[in-house]
């Protein structure tokens, strides 16, 4: 009988135009991609209507994929206060959606993601992507970069939490 997955995580990479997401399942030390794509929230409409589109898109992903938790990047830097504010707006909607659906949220800094996947916090984006592709058995590097980032965050979370939970069960 197949073991039930230990983790099914929805990782989200918030942006002001495009929001990458990835749902990964972690079972007996292996990660499997359930779904990975982008929500496009740019284009026409007001800021409020774009945030509503993001909220609705995330709710659909959660209803379809039924994750047990959410992972997001813990952002420290932005180009400037104006872009940090816009990014924060999208991030606020992402966190609210998790809380509404009772998904616990785990946050990882970029260095933690690199450390978990490549083994050192100063790894390049390309190194991270190559390792993500190898671990998930992807035929090519994940694209666009929003999806690649979401996959990396999801994999980081699976490794961290999945391994610690396996440790407790043994």
The residues carrying an active-site annotation are 13, 73, 146
d(CA 28, CA 162): 8
Contact assessment for residue 132 and residue 151, using Cβ atoms and an 8 Å cutoff = yes
87 lies in the binding site for a copy of itself (CB under 8 A) = yes
Binding piece for a copy of itself, criterion CB under 8 A, among 20-28, 36-44, 49-57, 117-125: 49-57
CB of 2 to a copy of itself, least distance (A): 32
By CB under 8 A, the residues from 92 to 131 that bind a copy of itself are 92-93, 95-96, 98-100, 105
Q: Is 19 in the site for a copy of itself (CB under 8 A)?
A: no
Token pair 């409020």 is at which residue?
48
List of long-range contacts for 1-6, beta carbons under 8 Å, 24+ apart: 2/27, 3/27, 3/28, 6/162, 6/165, 6/166
The residues that touch a copy of itself, with contacts defined as CB under 8 A, are 46-49, 51-52, 55, 75-78, 80-82, 84-93, 95-96, 98-100, 105
């Amino acid at each position: 009988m197949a073991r039930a997955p230990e983790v099914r995580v929805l990782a989200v990479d918030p942006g002001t135009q495009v929001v990458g997401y990835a749902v990964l399942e972690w079972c007996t030390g292996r990660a499997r991609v359930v779904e990975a794509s982008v929500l496009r929230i740019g284009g026409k409409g007001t800021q409020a209507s774009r945030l509503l589109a993001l909220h609705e898109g995330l709710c659909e992903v959660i209803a379809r994929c039924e994750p047990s938790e959410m992972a997001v990047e813990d952002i420290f830097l932005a180009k400037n206060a104006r872009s940090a504010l816009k990014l924060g707006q999208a991030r606020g909607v992402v966190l609210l959606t998790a809380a509404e659906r009772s998904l616990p949220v785990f946050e990882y800094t970029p260095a933690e993601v690199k450390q978990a996947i490549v083994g050192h916090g100063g790894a390049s984006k390309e190194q991270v992507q190559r390792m993500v592709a190898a671990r998930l058995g992807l035929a090519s590097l994940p694209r666009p970069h929003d999806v690649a980032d979401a996959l990396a965050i999801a994999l980081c979370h699976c490794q961290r939490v999945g391994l610690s939970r396996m440790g407790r069960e043994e």
